[in-house]
C-alpha cells in the first residue's frame, strides 16, 4: 500500500496502473524467490526497483531470461 501511495504522490503525471495491486500481490511471492520474469514496464518495474532490487532480487524480461537460461545449458 505504501508503494502505491508513494507512486501516486510522486508520479502524479503518470497514468494509474490498474494492475498495481495484482503486481504487488505477485511481488509478495518474491520472499522465497530470487528472480521475477516480466515484460511489464510500468508500475511493477518501478515498484520492483524500490522494494526488491535493494534486496538483491533480479527482474528479467522474458528475452533476458531466455538468454540467461541458454547460457546455463
Task: Give the count of beta carbons closer than 10 Å to the beta carbon of residue 72.
Answer: 5
Task: From first to last of the 73 residues of the chain, give the pLDDT tens digit.
Answer: 676 677 778 777 777 778 878 888 888 888 888 999 999 988 889 889 988 999 999 999 999 999 999 998 8
pLDDT at res. 26? 84
| Closest-CA residue to 38 (of 61, 20, 66) | 61
pLDDT at res. 71? 93
Q: What is the pTM of this model?
A: 0.73
Distance of CA 67 to the CA centre of its chain: 19
Amino acid at each position: 500500500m505504501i508503494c502505491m501511495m508513494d507512486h501516486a504522490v510522486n508520479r502524479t503525471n503518470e497514468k494509474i496502473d490498474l494492475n498495481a495491486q495484482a503486481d504487488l500481490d505477485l511481488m509478495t511471492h518474491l520472499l522465497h524467490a530470487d528472480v521475477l520474469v516480466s515484460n511489464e514496464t510500468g508500475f511493477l518495474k518501478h515498484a520492483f526497483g524500490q522494494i526488491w532490487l535493494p534486496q538483491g532480487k533480479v527482474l528479467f524480461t522474458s528475452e533476458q531470461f531466455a538468454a540467461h537460461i541458454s547460457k546455463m545449458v
